[in-house]
Amino acid sequence: MAIRSVGDRDNPIGKDGLYTFLSALTRGTDEDKVVKISDNDTVALVTADENFAGVVRTISQADSVAGVQMDDWAEVSFTGTAPSVGWNYLVGGTTAGTVKVPTYPLIKLIDITVSSGQTSGASEADTELVGGTIIGIVPTGNQDQLVDNIALGTDGSVTVTLASAATADNTFTVSVLKAPAKQAKKYLVSKVDATNHKCVIWLG
């Protein structure tokens, strides 16, 4: 692995044990924000619903190198509902560089309507579901035809196909287990400041 400044990922640098990566960040703006691995040996701000790697602490003057905390306790900003003290699923928040408690950490529920006179209905593409597995379907209203097939597309869309054309709208909820890389991870939260939208988490 190439040496980056005064250290590399295999050799934590400084008394705080930061790990060095190439940077897609901005000095003076992105310090103390949550980051992801965005490319080979490179970190960028985590965005909504993504898994994250740590908290950036230092960024070089040329914005080319970043020191990332990947161990121990770290204070991070959160958006949305406050996590609770204890174990929480966390992913990237609605604001880049923050975290949030995901609505669907492992299994996502997708509503599908097969309109009257049609034999199939589909949801929109969803990157969260790419590579996932369909694990169930339940009717949520009228169902006047048998379900012939349920398919998860390569773009993460879900298609429900009926055995015959619907005589009225048929509505369903499909359960999709996310691919392992898309599943949210659990973090131990020791402190929550709901007023300032901050929490302290164990990175590992």
Judge if 147 and 159 occupy the same domain: yes
In a domain, 84, yes or no: yes
DSSP state letters, 76-130: EEB-SSPPPSEEEEEEE-SSTT-EE--S-SSEEEEEEEE-TT-SEEEPPP-GGGT
Distance CA 70, CA 13 (A): 12
Distance CA 173, CA 82 (A): 27
What's the rounded mean pLDDT across residues 137-155? Answer: 98
Between the two ends of the chain, the Cα-to-Cα distance in Å is: 22
Judge if 28 and 53 occupy the same domain: yes
Judge if 147 and 74 occupy the same domain: no
pLDDT at 17: 76
Judge if 194 and 157 occupy the same domain: no
**Residues 6+ positions from 62 with CB-CB distance below 8 Å:** none
193 forms bridges with which residues in the sheet?
198
Residue 180, classed as helix, strand or coil, is: helix
What's the rounded mean pLDDT across residues 74-85? Answer: 97
Judge if 94 and 191 occupy the same domain: yes
In a domain, 62, yes or no: yes
Judge if 135 and 90 occupy the same domain: no
In a domain, 7, yes or no: no
- CATH number, domain of 172, equals 2.40.30
Residue type, 128: E
Average pLDDT, the chain: 93
In a domain, 137, yes or no: yes
Count: domains in the chain:
2
Q: Residues 48, 52, 57, 61: is their CA dihedral positive or negative?
A: negative
pLDDT for 1-23, tens place per residue? 333 344 444 544 544 679 999 99
Distance CA 106, CA 93 (A): 16
User: How many Cβ atoms sit within 10 Å of the Cβ of residue 89?
Assistant: 17
In a domain, 114, yes or no: yes
Predicted TM-score (pTM) of this structure: 0.83
pLDDT at 29: 96
Nearest to 185 by CA among 84, 72, 91: 91
54 forms bridges with which residues in the sheet?
35
In a domain, 6, yes or no: no
In a domain, 39, yes or no: yes
pLDDT at 4: 39
pLDDT at 16: 62
Distance CA 142, CA 147 (A): 13
pLDDT for 90-132, tens place per residue? 999 999 999 999 999 999 999 999 999 999 999 999 999 999 9
Residue type, 88: N
Nearest to 152 by CA among 179, 176, 118: 176
In a domain, 170, yes or no: yes
Token couple for 30: 């992105």
Domain range for 28: 19-100+184-202
